[in-house]
Amino acid sequence: MENKKMKVAELFAGVGGFRLGLEKSNFEVVWSNQWEPSTKMQHASMVYEERFGKENHSNEDINEVVTRNVEEIPDHDLLVGGFPCQDYSVATTLHNSKGLKGKKGVLWWSIHSILENKKNKPKYLFLENVDRLLKSPAKQRGRDFAVMLQSLNDLGYAVEWRVINAAEYGMPQRRRRVFFIGYHKSTEIYKRLQKSNKTNWLTEEGTIANAFPVAKTNSIQEIELKGDLVEITNNFNKNGKLSPFQNTGLLIKGKVYTTKTEPNYDGKRTVLADVLQNGEVTPEFFIDENNYLGVPFGRVFRTRFFVPIVSKRAQTIASIPNAA
Q: Which residues are catalytic?
A: 85
For 212-277, give the secondary structure using H, E and C.
CCECCCCCCEEEECCCCHHHHHHHCCCCCCCCCCCCEEEEECCEEEEECCCECCCCCCCCHHHHCC
Give the Cα-Cα-Cα angle 204, 205, 211 (nearest 5 degrees).
Answer: 75
Residue 140, classed as helix, strand or coil, is coil
Q: Is the Cβ–Cβ distance between 104 and 164 less than 8 Å? A: no
- 6-44 as b/e: b if 16+ CB within 10 A: bbbbbbbbbbbbbbbbbbeeebebbbbbbbeeeeeeebb
Cα–Cα distance measured from residue 24 to residue 110, given in angstroms and rounded to the nearest whole number: 28
DSSP result, 92-138: E-TTSTTSEEEPTT-THHHHHHHHHH-SS--SEEEEEEEGGGGG-ST
By DSSP bridging, strand 255-259 and strand 248-252 are: antiparallel
The number of helix segments (H) and strand segments (E) in the chain equals 12, 12
Largest CA distance in the chain: 66
